[in-house]
Amino acid sequence: MNYEEFVGSVTGFLRETLPCGTELSRILLEKNNGVILEGLSVRREGERAAPAVYLESYYQEYLSGSSLEQIKETILECCEDNGFSDIFDNGFFMDYRKVRPTVVYKLIHYEKNQKLLKQIPHVPFLNLAVVFYCLLPDTPVGNATVLIHNSHMEYWHITCAELYRDARQNTPRLLPAEVKSMTEVLLELSDGLDGQEEDSVPMYVLTNERKSLGAACILYENMLKHCAEWIGSSYYLLPSSIHEVILVPEEAVPDKQELMEMVRDINRTQVMSTEVLSDEIYYYSVERGRLGVVKE
């Protein structure tokens, strides 16, 4: 079954199963780094919100051997959940006083997201951009996020400076940071199995407790300084993805060019295109107390 046949099968199933009056439409959604994904918009009669189902990811599951019937049932469950729509239909998103406690920030690449940045409030940070979203925990589909656009700011009558102020307070509280050695992280991924050797080059992973969009932890007040104190020296910061960064003590890096090449190779071969943060590496100087982009 090719992609178009898959979409037709899923859409037909939903038309037959969802309540009469439900509007289904295929839409294109711009994600991080200019990547365009196709989604299926599902708007039930009388509702403001229309959740989007990303069809390509489900098609890949099908190609990997997942049952078509099970995929259809999973998509149907997402479409039938009322929680996310209720957030909009009860007026929550209409009142910034209600939205304010959920406003947090994340980091994306500045140059790779020029088109998107024209539509959303942002604050430049080195070669990156701080952008804002609402974190809506404990919805039926997990932790939902809503990217904040310029149109939201206009409706709420607020400024980007106010968003940044609120996000600086909320993000460390809602998404606390954690730093672990690479050895600890690998042990966790292997369910604590023995056999992990100590890294020849000491590395530390900085992310948040949810391990989602955790690269933004570098923005937390005094976080970079605390990491330097914990490591005991200045360090290089490698943008592993939008979800985490890797810290490497300066004395453990004989050739910074190798680090640059490693980051670019990993971005090309191991990181989803929507999750790449940057091809550059960064350096935090204890003496200057600042983070900067490392020049080639």
| Number of domains, the chain | 3
Mean residue pLDDT across the chain = 86
Strands in the chain per DSSP E: 23-30, 36-43, 52-54, 103-109, 122-125, 128-139, 142-147, 177-181, 204-208, 235-241, 244-249, 282-285, 290-293
User: Is 276 in the same domain as 243?
Assistant: yes
User: Is 278 in the same domain as 232?
Assistant: yes
Q: What is the structure's pLDDT at 227?
A: 95
Q: What would the two tokens of residue 22 be?
A: 């439900």
Write out the residue range of the structural domain in which residue 25 sits: 3-80
User: Is 219 in the same domain as 239?
Assistant: yes
Residue 131 has pLDDT above 90, yes or no: yes
Q: What is the structure's pLDDT at 229?
A: 93
User: Is 132 in the same domain as 147?
Assistant: yes
pLDDT tens-digit readout, 161-186? 999 999 999 999 999 999 998 888 88
Higher pLDDT, 210 or 50: 210
Of 19, 54, 80, the last residue of a domain is: 80
Q: What would the two tokens of residue 47 be?
A: 């509702």
Q: What is the structure's pLDDT at 183?
A: 84
CB 25 within 8 A of CB 13: no
Residue 160 has pLDDT above 90, yes or no: yes
Higher pLDDT, 140 or 152: 152
User: Is 150 in the same domain as 231?
Assistant: no
DSSP letter string over 52-94?
EEEHHHHHHHHHTT--HHHHHHHHHHHHH--HHHHHHHTTGGG
pLDDT tens-digit readout, 22-72? 888 888 877 888 888 888 888 777 666 666 778 888 888 888 888 888 888
pLDDT tens-digit readout, 67-105? 888 888 888 877 766 555 555 545 677 889 999 999 999
Taking residues 207-213, report their average pLDDT: 93
Adjacent-strand bridge partners of 103: 134
Taking residues 7-24, report their average pLDDT: 86
pLDDT tens-digit readout, 103-122? 999 999 999 999 999 999 99
pLDDT tens-digit readout, 248-286? 999 988 888 989 999 999 999 999 889 999 999 999 999
Residue 140 has pLDDT above 60, yes or no: no
Of 174, 203, 218, the last residue of a domain is: 174
Q: What would the two tokens of residue 126 be?
A: 């080195």
Of 31, 54, 80, the last residue of a domain is: 80
Confidence of residue 149 (pLDDT cuts 50, 70, 90): very high
| Residue 70, phi-psi category: left (phi > 0), alpha (psi -120 to 50), beta (remainder) | alpha
d(CA 161, CA 165): 6
Contacts by 160-169, CB closer than 8 A, 24 or more apart: 160/121, 160/122, 160/123, 163/103, 163/121, 163/132, 164/105, 164/123, 164/130, 164/132, 166/100, 166/103, 167/103, 167/104, 167/105, 167/130, 167/132, 168/105, 168/219, 168/221
